[in-house]
Amino acid sequence: MSDTATPAGLDPATLTDVLRVAGADDFDRWEEQIRRTGGCSDPIRLTGATKTIDPTTKTVLHAYTTEHEPGGMLRIACGNRRASRCPSCAWTYAGDTYHLIRAGLVGDPAKGTPHTVRNHPRVFATLTAPSFGPVHNRPANRPCRCGARHADDARELGTPLDPMTYDYAGAVLWNNHASDLWRYFTIYLRREVAKRAGLTQKDAREQSRLSFGKVAEYQKRGAVHFHAVIRFDGPDGPDSPPPHWASIALLTDAIHTAAARVAVDVPPAGDEPARTLRWGTQLDVQPIGAFGNGEDLTEQAVASYVAKYATKAAETTGTVDRRIGNKEALVLLGVPDHPRRLIEACLDLHALYPERKLRDWAHMLGFRGHFSTKSRRYSTTLGALRQVRADYRAAQQREALGLPDPDDNPEATTLVLSHWTYAGHGYTPGESWFAANIHRDIQLNRETAREALAGMSDLETVGEW
């Protein structure tokens, strides 16, 4: 058995399965598979085979089949970004997001942005939802409206003072249209920039570009808000310097005006009145410091902050992280009162606004957009980062098998024939216990290595991941 914690406190059925897994002849190979996934909580199981052939001589250079694997299956990571579903894969996703955002702040030629991008004006903006009714909160140096001074972890924070008068319909409709609000904001922002520069929109586009990298986060009250890096570039994107008139002050002023202009109309339906959705008044715009020399907000902090929330979703408010079919399920799942009312509002409004798919996104409290997005020229893509990782692992595999490297000899091509079939996902109870221990071991090793590196070099170089 591997060096893991004693399985104390397990129910008899799980303990029996733990002993079965540990006593299997192929346990070591099973453990190796799970370590390769990083201790994934819900691995994908595949069956199949692959052959690597020299197309010239027809010689089989390498052959692999899952027939000899534990259970006749290969296990690969699920790739889920949600920390609530798979902490291991979420860690990888957060790391990719961190490097994507950081590359657009400090520059990384390997990721499509030159180091000179560090000198471009850029800000960190937070756009929030409006009020849908008073909620329990912790105002600075004052008690809440209810008269109490709530602790940081008080369960009532973010919940309505009066649920009967809270605009639950308005809250979920706002979430549902939040991506539309963001789209209009980016349109108006470009117009406001041109206006302040004294240029036509066409001339402004020929002289400058705006790049974005953003993430969505849920407030305790269940409303989505966006954190965004907004950067001024030259006409050719990050490879060219911004024009002389592009400044942080101009950008900040344009952001405030553009946000105030945005309005999305929702038509009346049934008993629901017509609504005009807008951004909330709590708009925050801060300049991003290049080297952290006393600035309130550094590149490191911004990249870490965005990455942190890229793996979280509505479950942070007390809801669930998967779709809900009906209201009865809310009782069985034990969803707290406030998120339950928000979900019920989604289910009720679905019949009135079927095109908005509120039932499908009820578990997200109506929000149906992507949590982490960027404009095309901001920096690299998540897909490109995944491909780099896949290429690195493929190179390791070729070296281990003694296969030719196409980079060393382009003429030494090989033909790969593969056939894979989905065979399920997840673990038995005993396997799940072992996987959780493997993930904890890997996480501890990562933290230890990071602390050691942080002690040897500047944190700006090491980064968060």
Q: What is the pLDDT of residues 64-123, one digit of tens each?
A: 999 999 999 999 999 998 888 899 999 999 999 999 999 999 999 988 899 999 999 999
Indicate whether 431 pLDDT > 70.
yes
Note the pLDDT tens digit of each residue in 379-422.
988 899 999 888 888 888 888 888 877 776 666 678 889 999 99
Largest CA distance in the chain: 83
Mean pLDDT within 346-352: 95
Q: What is residue 126's three-state secondary structure? A: strand
In the chain, where the domains are located: 12-76+382-462, 87-132+167-374
pLDDT for the residue numbered 412: 66
Q: What is the pTM of this model?
A: 0.85
Neighbours of 203 (CB within 10 A): 12
CB 105 within 8 A of CB 232: no
Rounded mean pLDDT, 156-161: 91
Report the C-alpha gap between 444 and 402 in whole angstroms.
33
Strand, helix or coil for residue 118: helix
What is the tens place of the pLDDT at every residue in 136-152?
998 877 889 898 888 88
Tell me the per-residue pLDDT of 176-215, one tens digit each, with 9 for 90 and over. 999 999 999 999 999 999 999 999 999 999 999 999 999 9
Contacts of 451 (CB under 8 A, 6+ apart): none
Q: Among positive and negative, which fits the CA dihedral 27, 33, 37, 40? A: negative
